[in-house]
């Protein structure tokens, strides 16, 4: 009779395989990701990998979800002090950019990958995208419209415009390579405040 693995052992094995898969993605891209490659990287049997993942597609989804959820977890952590919605948006975008830059190789591999299996998690245009964070941004913009006098006729569109701008900034800062925390704070603040200024002046 096959002995059941303990929950802790299962989690440890899953983490080991995810770390191996992420290392492959960061070094050579999703194209090189496979059951066999992960087994070699993690120094386990192919059968062990199949115990957790049915195929490459399930591996890709696991890698994307793990990394993207980690990124969004950092963004969504409670702020130290209660601030106005617009200030909270700025603070959370600063966290987003800093975290993305700290794992820039992985971020680029994921965010610039056109694979449908990846895009369904990272898209900001699809209403049912799993991890984009658009919903949280829409909530904050809605609060800003009540508390700070923002005039927003289409919150969904405004949220996507703002997110796209920050996304472009993130990729540019990653490309520039020499980026300081001060650069991130300054650029995110300028982008957001410019956007907010237009919303406050809208009729």
Q: Which domain holds residue 25?
A: 7-53
From residue 44, give the alpha-carbon distance in Å to each of 34, 35, 40: 13, 11, 7
Cβ neighbours for 51, distance < 8 A, ≥ 6 positions apart? 13
Q: What is the pTM of this model?
A: 0.80
Are residues 176 and 94 part of one domain? yes
Are residues 77 and 44 part of one domain? no
Are residues 79 and 41 part of one domain? no
Total Cβ atoms within 10 A of residue 79:
11
177 Rama class: left (phi>0) / alpha (psi -120 to 50) / beta: left
Are residues 136 and 108 part of one domain? yes
Domain assignment present for 98: yes
- Mean pLDDT (whole number) for 72-100: 90
Domain assignment present for 60: no
Are residues 70 and 162 part of one domain? yes
The separation between CA 114 and the C-alpha centre of its own chain, rounded to angstroms, equals: 15
Are residues 20 and 69 part of one domain? no
Are residues 103 and 37 part of one domain? no
Domain assignment present for 123: yes
Structural domain count of the chain: 2
Sign of CA dihedral 96, 101, 104, 108: positive
Q: For the chain, give the percent of residues with pLDDT over 70.
A: 92
Q: How far apart are CA 96 and CA 63, in angstroms?
A: 19
Domain assignment present for 69: yes
Domain assignment present for 59: no
Residue 46 maps to which CATH number? 1.10.10.60
pLDDT digits (tens, 9 = 90+) for 14-39: 889 999 998 898 888 888 899 999 99
């Amino acid at each position: 009779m096959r002995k059941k693995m303990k929950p802790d052992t299962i989690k440890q094995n899953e983490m080991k395989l995810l770390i191996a898969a992420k290392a492959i993605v960061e070094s050579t891209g999703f194209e090189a990701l496979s059951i066999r490659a992960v087994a070699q990287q993690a120094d386990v049997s192919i059968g062990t990998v199949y115990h957790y993942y049915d195929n490459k597609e399930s591996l890709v989804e696991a890698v994307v979800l793990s990394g993207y959820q980690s990124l969004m977890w950092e963004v969504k952590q409670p702020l130290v002090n209660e601030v106005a919605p617009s200030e909270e948006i700025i603070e959370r975008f600063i966290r987003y950019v800093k975290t993305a830059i700290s794992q820039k190789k992985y971020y680029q591999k994921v965010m610039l990958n056109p694979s449908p299996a990846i895009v369904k998690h990272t898209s900001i245009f699809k209403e049912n995208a799993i991890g984009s964070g658009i919903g949280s941004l829409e909530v904050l913009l809605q609060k800003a419209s009540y508390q700070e006098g923002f005039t927003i006729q289409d919150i969904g569109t405004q949220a996507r415009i703002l997110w796209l701008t920050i996304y472009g900034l993130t990729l540019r800062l990653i490309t520039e390579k020499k980026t300081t925390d001060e650069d991130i704070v300054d650029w995110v603040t300028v982008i957001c405040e410019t956007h907010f200024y237009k919303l406050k002046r809208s009729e």
